[in-house]
Amino acid sequence: MGCDIGNPRYDEYARLFGAAGYYVEHPDQVGDAVKAALSAGGPAVVEIPIDPDEFPTPVAAVRPQG
């Protein structure tokens, strides 16, 4: 017998406890979600799901040179 329990939506948990919660579905939404969280006037959670099987881009590859 097995069980596959997924992760909860942390943005929804934040709202349950009175904090602001934002869920990002596309990279273009990150900036707006962070701005909204910073202007929420209290605790806020920004959930950005990632693919655990995708190899991350090294920070050095996207850091501006100069």
Total number of domains in the chain: 1
- Note whether residue 65 is domain-resident: no
- Note whether residue 36 is domain-resident: yes
Which amino acid, one-letter code, is at 40?
A: A
Instruction: Give the tens place of pLDDT for each residue, 1-29.
Output: 677 778 889 999 999 999 999 999 999 99
- Note whether residue 59 is domain-resident: no
Instruction: Give the tens place of pLDDT for each residue, 25-62.
Output: 999 999 999 999 999 999 999 999 988 787 777 766 66
- Note whether residue 4 is domain-resident: no
- Note whether residue 21 is domain-resident: yes
Domain that holds residue 36: 10-50
Higher pLDDT, 63 or 19: 19
- Note whether residue 64 is domain-resident: no
- Note whether residue 5 is domain-resident: no
